[in-house]
Amino acid sequence: MQPCSACADSPADHVLLVGRDRDGRWVVQENHGLIEGLFINRAAALHFAHCERHAFPAARIELATAPLTSILSR
């Protein structure tokens, strides 16, 4: 059995993106689609991103440079 591609990546390959969607809501997304959350403000989004790093200890937290597309808001 082959591991899933996201699981096979090294922990350093994970990025938690923090940014806004086109409607202005704050979003946190893991770059492989394993984590996502919607938040009322930037501070809450950053807090969530920092707390979720336990799942991916070497993950980077980056601010998005373009609007994020949330799958939760559909």
Taking the domains of the chain in order of start, what are their residue ranges?
5-63
Q: How far apart are CA 16 and CA 34, in angstroms?
A: 10
CA distances from 42 to 22, 24, 25, 48, 57 (A): 15, 11, 9, 10, 21
pLDDT at 12: 61
pLDDT at 68: 95
Q: What is the pTM of this model?
A: 0.79
pLDDT at 51: 94
Q: What is the pLDDT along the chain (74 residues), one digit of tens a residue?
A: 334 444 445 556 899 999 999 999 999 999 999 999 999 999 999 999 999 988 888 899 999 999 999 887 66
pLDDT at 10: 57
User: What tokens does 65 get?
Assistant: 């440079």
